[in-house]
Copies of this chain bind each other. A is one copy, B any other.
């Protein structure tokens, strides 16, 4: 009880500090923010040895705890990875500053001049798992977009995260900004996460979880503040009867197999019954030849011995693996309906030469991203030209799709008058 009371005090104090820092940071110049990022990058490079020492501490603990190689690899830093982290900070410094952008401006008949101007969100809480680089990446995106950040990395990277975060302290103070713009939760205590999800007495404006599904699920269920996240990426690629078969093959293989573990990977292939003869077989053979497991509906399963019969559950499953479900469909509207029921609102594609079918799909599918003749694996802030992203969101509000610098801002109205009063 006493421990928790003291933790709550620490955490709430961090929240209060962040809120104060956010007010200063929100009015910082672009130059100040860029200089802080560049200085942090320099500090990271200069502190490479210290970073690697801290990381070895984390690695030793992780090895003793018996973590598997994939998890160890996520924790591990080396000189090259440190350079990558530093370079990423410089890349964010080079991006345009969204704060202060005039999104719209208009005049009223009474002479009032109204503009809608981008401002930071305020304080962002980032809860992440075992990649130390997220410490720097998330801090950089928040800093550039004028937001104070409270970072909470998993206990597995406590030492590495501390060493990375320390590189921001000096950098911030060097440009005259409070070092509390970037704060790292100093304890591996799991209750700290619950406190952040409750909003730290109203100081946290949004939570961004970065990690596996169980983390995102907990955050979505327990957060009392808005969350930018997606739980599932059950992405669909739909092959319309008018699809060019070579393009359909290229895109399907890429959408499914380029990387199977990312949220934009296609999980379900929908194929028009009308082109079952011409398109379905070559597509499935190509997938099977590449070693992809195919789970088909009844019609599809009969085509080849290697095809597994899909169960009802398959249409709602994000495999994140070399597995695809395949279903015959009665046309665009049927595809839209299937996606409305089974999709996760992330990214869906149609492959079609028929422009009106493509437009019907682009209009009718209610997902954050809808594509025509392109691979669902393009669902990425970098590929969208946003420079960097803190994640992909499938909520309907505010941040939808890739969450880059712009999405980490909100707006306010500035109204310029010359003495106008409102008629009674």
Contacts and interface: CB of A to CB of B under 8 A. Distances in A.
Contact-residue size bin, chain A (C-beta under 8 Å from the other chain): 35 or more
Contact of A366 (B26, B259, B372): B26
Give the residue among A27, A226, A396, A422 with the most B Cβ atoms within 10 A: A422
A414 B258 contact: no
A412 B340 contact: no
Contact of A121 (B108, B371, B396, B416): B396
Contacts of A26: 366
A422 B226 contact: no
A377 B422 contact: yes
Interface stretch (A32-40, A246-254, A275-283, A287-295): A246-254
Contacts of A226: 226, 397
A241 B16 CA distance: 32
B415 A372 contact: yes
Given A226-B397, A340-B23, A396-B205, A244 B419 contact: yes
B366 A417 contact: no
Contacts of A364: 27
Contacts of A400: 410-412
Interface string A390-424: 00000011101100000000111111111111101
A347 B416 CA distance: 13
A121 B400 CA distance: 12
Contacts of A50: none
A385 interface: yes
Interface in A291-311: none
A418 B371 CA distance: 10
Contact of A412 (B259, B368, B373): B368
A151 interface: no
A108 B387 CA distance: 12
A414 B385 CA distance: 14
Nearest to A414: B362
B421 A258 contact: yes
Interface string A344-384: 00000000000000100011101111111111011000011
A417 B369 contact: no
Contact of A420 (B106, B368, B378, B412): B378
A370 B226 CA distance: 24
Contact of A413 (B114, B368, B416): B368
Contacts of A369: 412-413, 415
Contacts of A419: 244, 247, 250-251, 373-374
Contacts of A397: 121, 206, 226, 397-398, 410
A373 B414 contact: no
A13 interface: no
15 contacts: A27-B363, A27-B364, A112-B383, A119-B366, A247-B419, A251-B419, A253-B421, A362-B414, A372-B417, A373-B417, A373-B418, A374-B416, A378-B415, A400-B411, A401-B413
Given A27-B363, A378-B422, A400-B412, 9 more contacts: A119-B366, A362-B414, A366-B412, A370-B415, A372-B415, A373-B417, A375-B420, A378-B415, A398-B398
Interface of A: 23, 26-27, 100, 106, 108, 112, 114, 119, 121-122, 205-206, 226, 244, 247, 250-251, 253-255, 258-259, 340, 358, 362-364, 366-375, 377-378, 383-385, 396-398, 400-401, 410-422, 424
